[in-house]
Amino acid sequence: MRITALAGGVGGARFLRGLRTHLDATPDLADSELTIIGNTGDDISLFGLRVCPDLDTLLYTLGGGIHEGQGWGRADESHRVQGELAAYGATPQWFALGDLDIGTHIARSQWLAQGLSLSEATTRLAQRWGLPDQRVTVLPMSDSPVETHVVVEDADGQRAVHFQEWWVRMQASLPAQRFVAVGMDRATAAPGVLDAIRHADVVLLPPSNPVVSIGIILGVPGVRDALRGTAAPVVGVSPIIGGMPVRGHADACLAAIGVECTAGAVAGLYEDFLDGWLVSQEDAASVRLPRAQVRGRPLLMTDRAAAAQIAGAALDLALETKRG
């Protein structure tokens, strides 16, 4: 079976690792191919290096190198380089860059400087993490740089800051007025992205941030049309449980686009292509969708086994659902 997923960072990666675990434990599904279309709107250039936080979270999580407690960054990490940068007064200092992680960014930046596309650089990084052996392909949504910026307002008036500055430095404390995907007007989908949706047997939306992860990928020209047009059932998992994001600031992101922070309202963002929506059991009674099947399940990815169960439930829902 060919499964294609759209994903941000931590929520997407934990779900997809669970999906791979579920597939590997199911004899009929073990040879399934998983293609992940990763959000690159979080990407940022720091100290001359290209940093792709969501792609790296996917690679580290699926490749077994992730810091489990944090959900991002490398396990057994040190921060000697960052300490040295701080001693020189080099900025910014609010974005955590571990030494091992910096190795990833140096390798990627060098390949990009040599003329490789982001897709090609990502393929090389994925080899090191053993993803081809797991039948997992990670594709950036686009090879052209797209950066999510956030328009905020304070006493000095309105200004736009990079998404990472808003998310990491400000902890989303200034209300976002709106998000701007800088570079999207010139962006095209990376090679393989649209075909991975069109030719999939199943398309899954992990519980990634609906605005700044999935929402950004949906803005890549052709992606939304491919989701509407594919013969594959499209099934998503709610990142919102009982009116709250499980982690992160999805509530602040939804507020900025005028959408209620509920499982049902998030499904509304996908209503033109969504066939099935997995929600938390407590939300199941209150979510009614005109053209998607709703199913309630425990949705907390407390460990790998829980994530595998959730992924299995999403896949089951997809396999029972016809496109309608």
State the minimum distance, in angstroms, from the CB of residue 206 to Ca ion.
12
Nearest residue to 227 (alpha-carbon basis) of 253, 196, 206, 190 = 196
Asked if 12 touches Ca ion (CB under 5 A), the answer is no
Asked if 43 touches Ca ion (CB under 5 A), the answer is no
Asked if 70 touches ligand GDP (CB under 6 A), the answer is no
Between CA 216 and CA 68 the distance in angstroms is 26
Asked if 211 touches ligand GDP (CB under 6 A), the answer is no
Among 5, 43, 54, 137, binds Ca ion (CB under 5 A): 54
C-alpha distances (whole Å) from 228 to each of 130, 134, 268 are: 32, 29, 14
Tokens 């491919």 -> residue:
226
Q: Which residue is nearest to Ca ion (CB)?
A: 9
Q: Which residues of 113-130 are buried (b: 16+ CB within 10 A; e: fewer)?
A: eeebbbbebbbebbeebe
Query: Containing H/E element for 180?
Result: strand 176-182
Contact assessment for residue 308 and residue 22, using Cβ atoms and an 8 Å cutoff: yes
Q: What distance, in Å, lies between the first and last C-alpha atoms of the chain?
A: 21
Q: Which does 301 bind (CB under 5 to 8 A by kind): Ca ion, ligand GDP, none?
A: ligand GDP
Asked if 11 touches ligand GDP (CB under 6 A), the answer is yes
Between CA 161 and CA 153 the distance in angstroms is 10
Residue 142 per-residue DSSP state: B
State the minimum distance, in angstroms, from the CB of residue 213 to Ca ion.
5
Asked if 40 touches ligand GDP (CB under 6 A), the answer is no
State the minimum distance, in angstroms, from the CB of residue 209 to ligand GDP.
3
Q: Which does 207 bind (CB under 5 to 8 A by kind): Ca ion, ligand GDP, none?
A: ligand GDP
Asked if 276 touches ligand GDP (CB under 6 A), the answer is no
- Binding span for ligand GDP by CB under 6 A among 97-105, 120-128, 196-204, 208-216: 208-216
CA angle 161, 164, 165 (to 5 degrees): 50
**Does the CA dihedral 300-209-95-252 come out positive or negative?**
negative
- Binding span for Ca ion by CB under 5 A among 7-15, 74-82, 219-227, 292-300: 7-15
Between CA 8 and CA 229 the distance in angstroms is 23
State the minimum distance, in angstroms, from the CB of residue 27 to Ca ion.
34
Between CA 239 and CA 33 the distance in angstroms is 24
Asked if 147 touches Ca ion (CB under 5 A), the answer is no
Asked if 262 touches ligand GDP (CB under 6 A), the answer is no
Asked if 9 touches Ca ion (CB under 5 A), the answer is yes
Between CA 105 and CA 87 the distance in angstroms is 21
Instruction: Considering only residues 240 through 259, tell me which ones interact with ligand GDP, judged by CB under 6 A.
Output: 241, 245-248, 250
Total residues contacting ligand GDP by CB under 6 A comes to 24
* Radius of gyration of the chain from its Cα atoms, rounded to whole angstroms: 19
Q: Which does 245 bind (CB under 5 to 8 A by kind): Ca ion, ligand GDP, none?
A: ligand GDP
Nearest residue to 180 (alpha-carbon basis) of 158, 156, 196 = 158
State the minimum distance, in angstroms, from the CB of residue 266 to ligand GDP.
9
Among 15, 18, 36, 42, binds Ca ion (CB under 5 A): 42
- Binding span for Ca ion by CB under 5 A among 2-10, 108-116, 197-205, 266-274: 2-10
The residues of the shown chain that bind ligand GDP, judged by CB under 6 A, are 7-12, 54, 57, 207-209, 213, 237-239, 241, 245-248, 250, 299-301
